[in-house]
Every structure is written in structure tokens, then in C-alpha cells.
Amino acid sequence: MPDSAALPDEKLLSRAASYIKGCKRLVVLTGAGVSKESGIPTFRDKLTGLWEGYDPGQLATPEGFLKNPPLVWKWYDWRRQMVSAAEPNDGHRAIAQLQKLVPTTVVTQNVDRLHQRAGSENVLELHGNILTFRCFERGHQALDGVASGLDEPPICQCGSLLRPNVVWFGEALPQSVLADANKAAKLCDLMFVVGTSALVQPAASLPHIALDRGAIVVEVNPNETPLSEDATLFLSGASGLVMPQLVRLFEALN
Ligand code: OAD
């Protein structure tokens, strides 16, 4: 079991910091691991991941929602309350700081808006966000706030059920967000891939798009993933420790 409280070797961190110094366009692609230190469970971590205890087919597909709208509604309501009570951690803050120092596009699979709350701007949310709603049939945005604690989904003015504004399995990602993310991956010369198992497409293909174009890809994760052997550099450790240290080393180079 890797020690997520340990920092990677100083030489590897310095190498990653020098990559930042040399880069013109940075992409930071993130996943659930970035928010773990804010107390939000990941999906696939052993024992603690959400998909260890819950069935994604039941809770994160349009079919699951239609089969049992109250169940899905209440599960997202629970997660929404957890996310609302959470605070950004040092990893989110370091990524926001990087964006101030280097031209950076933040692309996230997370639906929790913690990057934005930490100060990141123009975040590309590949999987939507859990804090807003749209209607199931026609995609009408729910403009008024929706109360927590409801036992079933409210009804849109068009008569359809409201649902969380997230992407479920089997659904297309928001087209323009995905187009912007693909473009950023093609144009960047450095990509950090932080806190994702790199298993879910199309997000998982972004680092390969960058690698194919000659970019450097640095992975930050306490555990290896299918990306690790292709990445230019693998930094083993928790985002909340590694990312601030990288920013410190980068600032020391300037
Ligand atoms: P996963 O749960 O699949 O992966 C989380 C990753 O974070 C794992 O590789 C962990 O090793 C790593 N990790 C754990 N703690 C960390 C820490 N402190 N710092 C850095 N990394 C850490 O989450 P995602 O890759 O985001 O989609 O999952 C992708 C998508 O699958 C999600 O957006 C969600 C899920 O099903 C939908 O619901 C559509």
C-alpha cells in the first residue's frame, strides 16, 4: 500500500518543477482524488470508493434514474450536501495558484466545483456539476434553487422530472466543453494528470492526445494507473501535498 502522506523523491519533484518553468501552455486534468483530502470519497479507491458500496448502473445512468427517480434523487442530494459542506484543499489551491503563474487550462471530471471555489477560472467541467439541475426530457435549466432534503425529484415547468446537471454513464459529454478540452490537450506542451484512475473515457484519452503531440505528461497519484507507464513522469503522492510542493519549487526557480 503506497504511503500517500509521503512526498516523492526531491529530484523527481524538481524535474517536474523545471517542466513547469519551460512550459508555455499547461493543462491540469483532475479527478476525484484531488477532492479526497476535502473529505469527498473517490469512486474506485479500495474500501472507501463510492462504487464499492453503490451500483453505478442504478445510480449513474439515465435508465437507473427512470427506474427509480427518488432513489437517484436522494443519492445525489446526499452527495450535494457533502460537497456543499466541504472546503477546497491545498491541492485545489495549488492548482489555482499555478493558473496565476502559467497559462493553464483546468479540465476536471469532478462535479463538486471545488476548483472554482479555490480560485481556478474557466474550469472545463467534463462531467457537469452536482450543484445545478436540468430537466430530464428537454434539458431546461432549473433557474430557481432546489431545496435539499426532498424525497423525490421536483417537476420542471414542462412536466418532466428534474435531474442533477451531471453526465451519467452512457450519456454524451457537453459537446463544447469536450471540444475545448481536446483542443487544450492538443495545444499544451505540459499536462499534469492529478487524482484520476484514468479509466473513464473520453477524459482518459486526453493525456494520450497530449503525448501524441509531443507534450510532457506528469501524473500525480498515490497509486499507479493505466496511464503511469506512458506518462513522462509519475509522482507518487497525494495531490494536497505534491501540488503545493511543486508550486513552491517552481516559484523558487524564478
Ligand atoms: P476514481 O475514483 O476512478 O479515481 C480516483 C483516483 O484518485 C485513483 O487513481 C486514486 O489512486 C487517486 N487518489 C486517491 N487519493 C488521492 C489523493 N489524495 N491525491 C491524488 N490522487 C488520489 O475517480 P475518477 O478518475 O475521477 O464519473 O473517476 C472518473 C469518473 O468515474 C468520475 O468522474 C465518475 C466516475 O464514475 C461519472 O460519475 C460519470
Per domain, the residue ranges of the chain are 1-39+88-127+173-254, 41-85+128-166
Is the CB–ligand 1 distance for residue 43 below 6 Å? yes
- Residue 6: pLDDT band (50, 70, 90) is confident
Are 137 and 160 in contact by the 8 Å Cβ rule? The answer is yes
**Averaged confidence pLDDT in the chain:** 95
Question: Which pLDDT value is given to residue 3?
Answer: 59
Q: What is the CATH code for 41-85+128-166? A: 3.30.1600.10
Category of 97 on φ-ψ map: left (φ > 0), alpha (ψ -120 to 50) or beta: alpha
pLDDT band at residue 70 under the 50/70/90 scheme: very high
Q: How far is CA 84 from its chain centroid?
A: 16
Cβ neighbors of 234 (< 8 A, separation 6 or more) are 218, 219, 221, 224, 228
pLDDT in tens, 14-46: 999 999 999 999 999 999 999 999 999 999 988
Superfamily of domain 1-39+88-127+173-254: TPP-binding domain (3.40.50.1220)
The string of pLDDT tens digits covering residues 129-179 is 999 999 999 999 987 778 888 999 999 999 999 999 999 999 999 999 999
Residue 182's pLDDT is: 98
**pLDDT for the residue numbered 2:** 59
80 membership: H or E segment, kind and range: helix 69-85
The pLDDT of residue 39 is: 97
Which ligand 1 atom sits nearest the alpha carbon of residue 111?
33
- In terms of residues, how long is the chain? 254
Pick from 4, 38, 42 the residue to mutate for probing ligand 1's pocket: most ligand atoms within 8 Å of its CB: 42
